[in-house]
Amino acid sequence: MRVEYTTKDVCAKKITFEIEDGKTYSVKFSGGCPGNLSAISKLVEGADAGTIAMILRGNKCGTRKTSCADQLAIAIKEALSEEYIGQHTIQIGEHLGRTA
C-alpha cells in the first residue's frame, strides 16, 4: 500500500512511504532537515511498521508538540488502521456474498 501523508506543524510538508506485509519501505520526506530525515528513512527501511510507529510516536522537535518522526508515526498508524479496516470490510463482504 502506497501512502501519502500531509504533515502538520513541522518543516517537512509531506511524507510518502509504502507498507508491504506490515513493513515500511521507500520513506521520503518533502522538505525538512535533509540529513536527519534521510537517516530516519534509512533506519526504518524494511522495519515492522507497528514497531516504528510506537518508537517514533511522541518525539518532539524543540518547543513544538510534534516532529517529523512523530508525524511519520501518526501516518503509519493511520495507514495500518485503514489497511485493517479495508481487509475486514472485504472479509465481511465476502462472508455476506458481496464483493468490495
Write down the residue that cell numbers 508538540 correspond to: 65
Model pLDDT for residues 3-33, shown as the tens digit of each residue: 999 999 999 999 999 999 999 999 999 999 9
Q: How confident is the model over 70-91, as a mean pLDDT? A: 80
Q: What is the pLDDT of residue 83?
A: 73
pLDDT higher than threshold 80 for residue 95? no
Q: What is the pLDDT of residue 98?
A: 53
Buried b vs exposed e over 81-95: b needs ≥16 C-beta within 10 Å?
eeeeeeeeeeeeeee
Task: Determine the residue type at 48.
Answer: D
Residue 29, H or E segment: strand 23-30
Per-domain residue ranges of the chain: 2-95
Query: Per-residue confidence at 38, pLDDT binned at 50, 70, 90?
Result: very high
pLDDT higher than threshold 50 for residue 92? no
The closest alpha carbon to 47, from 62, 25, 30, belongs to 25
Residues in CB range of 33: below 8 A, 6 or more apart: 11, 68
- If one compares 57 and 84, the residue with the highest pLDDT of the two is 57
